[in-house]
Structure 1
Amino acid sequence: MNKTKHALFSYSFIFPSALLTLVLGIYPIAWAFRYMFYDYKGFGTARFTGLANFSRILKDTQFWDSVVNTFVYAGGKLLITIPLALLLAVILNRGLRGRQLLRGIFFMPTVISTAVMAVVFFTIFNSYNGILNQFLIRLGLSDSGVDWLGPKYAMLTVILVAAWGAVGNYMLLFLAGLQNIPEDVYEASSLDGAGKIQQFRYVTLPMLGPVMQMVIMLAIITALKGYESIMVLTEGGPVGKTEVMFLYLYKLFFPVGGSSAAVQVQEFGYGSAVAFVSAVIVGMISLIYFYASRRMNQTD
């Protein structure tokens, strides 16, 4: 009897999280897996169409353009975020005055709502009366401002906003890794005549390898799935220049009004098929990275 009570007591702690996982995780996946073989608009009767949705994906230029935009967005974000986060971590790992305050400042964007952050940056980068354009005009650096959210600079703008929001999180992970490196290693390398640059290259980077692999993996997955700030800043426009994969998917389930919206009709069946293909793409990129990182570890 005591064992039964103990088991029930233990399962009572597991049950809430298991129920949430079932309702919010497993059930939606099973629902989407079923309807990706149907023509279903969210109302009326679902009509079984077999692989027609996947055949449509192969011909959907908007989706494949969004895939290309996703890789451009993710690549640009990684090229900015990872080196900058590592640089800030190295600087803040030194005995600087106020480093605790600086860590909090750099980490603050991570805890701010993505939607709120994007609204703030919209007021900064607004092409007509944005704060940045007003600043440039007053300095005489521009006559009429720059169209930051136009076809030429929109992707760069959303990448910079995304990098600003992510760099603090990865900085803390790098900082934790740096603080686990023994000081004796640096002292020994100094006795051998190694300078700061040589210590960073031959001591810091190799010993930071496991943390680096984890950070890059998290950054890749987050960048490939990111779309919230883009939805607020540009809605995927102009003319689809910033339409990323998961924003296109979001619009299939929740159509967004406006001239920049690529999708105007709610399509649950086709959206489920797009969700599956998008998940496969993200999974393939993750597997490629895992394979490459393992090969690098074996080589080392």
Structure 2
Amino acid sequence: MADLFGFRPSNALGALVYKGAATGFLINKAFLSLDKNTYIPPSPPIINSSKILRHEKQERFMSTIKKGIDLSHFQGDIDFKKVFEAGIEYAFIKTTEGATVQDNKYTTYRTDARAVGIKTGAYHYFRALSSSPEAQRDNIVSTLTAADFDASTEFFAIDAELEGNEKATPDEMADNLHKLLTLLDNEKILNSKKPFIYCDNNFWMNHILGEKYAFSEYPLWIANWDVSEPKVPASWEVAGKSWSIWQHSNKGRIAGIEVDVDLNWVRT
């Protein structure tokens, strides 16, 4: 609608009509005439309440989380001072896999990260069939003990993924994962702290019989990339629990690391 005498009429006043030579508003069938001295205030701005709510939600979210990364030897040499200066506060480092593998960068990464003030954690890549839960427990405990792992300040997680576990049935995945977690519950090196379970929702729902055990007793590290909110597996959702760590990207670029790195939000 064109401006009237330099002002844009407010739609709240009523319909703009023309009556002979007069111009005015028709309000409840009554004609209100206007002259050139009549001031009509501009319409108030339309406030997008959904955007405000999203902004407030984002602010609350950002006030309760910290930035983290997870690493393995694939990241090569790392300048942890630059990583810390980039705002990274947590680094989760691969320590072991199956019964016999130790990541050759674990000790170096852990030492260098802690030296600049980055909090550290460790994770074990779970093998459902090629290694027994007992043998994996032994590999984890001996490696963490040699590194002087401190459960009072460090996280530990079991990484459950499809790669390397393609032949395991959902029952076998659930049974052997639960067995390993139960074995670790009794290990002094973890100081009675429950390990995190790392997984993505699709893998968990299709390849692990999650309802067979109370996996929700363990904190969830969920992988769900490039989404505004992660999908939490039913094992945690039905128990009224959410994620503790969210791996939100596998294509992060961080100063001090020359290749892509996984990015995480850590709830504190």
Shorter-chain TM-score category? under 0.3
Structure (1 or 2) with the greater helix fraction: 1
Structure (1 or 2) with the greater strand fraction: 2
Higher RCO (C-alpha 8 Å, min separation 6)? 1
